[in-house]
Homo-oligomer: A and B are copies of this chain.
Amino acid sequence: MLPDEVMEIAQQEMLDWHGSGMSVMEMSHRGREYTSIAKQAEADLRELAGISDDYAVLFLQGGASSQFSMIPMNLLRDKRHADYFNTGIWSAKAIAEASRYTQVNVVADAKPSHYQTIPDKALWQLSDDAAYVHYTPNETIHGIEFAEVPEVGSTPLVADMSSTILSRPIEVDRFGLIYAGAQKNIGPAGLCIVIVHKELLGQTLPGTPAMFDYKLHSDHGSMYNTPATYSWYLAGLVFQWLKRQGGLAEMAKINERKANKLYTAIDASDFYSNPVDPRYRSWMNIPFTLADSTLDERFLTEAAEQGLLSLKGHRDLGGMRASLYNAMPEAGVDKLVWFMSDFERRFG
């Protein structure tokens, strides 16, 4: 989902970007016009998230799924193992791929709780000499989220922020590497943003494909080969939109308010329920079930008639899931809450 305002700008500029006579889609990525678009996007992201020059900001292809291999291939170096939190489907995917390159030590495992809570800090088993610690701040499917950045000492901390990046301020300096597929909370598919401390660049495992070497991309300003130019441009429009909204502190207020409205409605009802430990409930992805699951189809159909789309829960969980990414306006949440209340009144 992209903000309406961004979609309208993109449409207006589509055939002629800023009087250049060219569409962004037709620009050479090495030309003056596109270079200015790319640099502005990076500058806006650095400003929004407070990213210092100690970090490279990369605009890559291949999604977070490619990062699952790139991270061990670039960060393992001479270490024998890496630490991973397992808090859901996306953590598990990262672990499965990393296990092909190194021994994975699971710091904490949320699976025994059916991914409804995160094990207590006192139970975490961090290694002494892990190459890095990986976690997934927000898990989209079960809707759980770390309430704060885990404290991991001096080991580089790596985060898959695909579904949470730019939803609130980021303490970049606490991370070695942050990555995010852009299609969830930024907007355009086909782009993956990587924010990586420059100290971590330059030492890959033997056999690492050139295109999986962060340093290569950093040295070439993410233009070693043709990047996903249009997605990068759209991301830039989203960054400017976020600045106009007041930046990440303001987005945090809006996103917390949006989530609270929906959780409050769910908790006040006997008809809807969300199973997640309130301490770890996601602001971004809110799964919920109806007391009577035979009403699920009717709920989805009527919601769609109201323009409330994409509410069907993940096939592993059933039920419903509302994704309240940055681009979802607060009025959309209000409408959903109103619809849920009305549906409950009629069928509850």
Contacts and interface: CB of A to CB of B under 8 A. Distances in A.
A301 to B, nearest CB: 14
A61 B310 contact: no
A271 to B, nearest CB: 27
A50 interface: no
Contacts of A14: 7, 10-11, 14
A73 interface: yes
Contacts of A191: 190
A181 B231 contact: no
Contact of A210 (B29, B61, B68, B205): B68
A23 interface: yes
Q: Give this chain's copy count.
A: 2
Interface string A173-212: 0000000010100011111000000000000010101111
B212 A209 contact: yes
Contact of A190 (B183, B210, B231): B231
A92 interface: no
Given A7-B15, A25-B7, A230 B189 contact: yes
A195 to B, nearest CB: 19
A207 B65 contact: no
Interface string A1-35: 11000011011001100000111011011010000
A210 B26 contact: no
A190 B230 contact: yes
Given A2-B25, A69-B211, A188-B25, A183 B226 contact: yes
B97 A210 contact: yes
A75 B216 CA distance: 25
A225 interface: yes
Given A25-B2, A226-B181, A226-B183, A211 B61 contact: no
Interface of A: 1-2, 7-8, 10-11, 14-15, 21-23, 25-26, 28-29, 31, 61-66, 68-70, 73, 97, 100-101, 181, 183, 187-191, 205, 207, 209-212, 224-231, 234, 307, 309-310
28 contacts: A2-B25, A2-B26, A10-B14, A11-B11, A11-B14, A25-B188, A25-B189, A25-B234, A61-B61, A62-B66, A63-B226, A65-B210, A65-B211, A66-B211, A68-B209, A68-B210, A68-B211, A69-B209, A69-B212, A73-B209, A183-B229, A188-B230, A189-B227, A189-B228, A190-B190, A190-B229, A205-B207, A230-B231
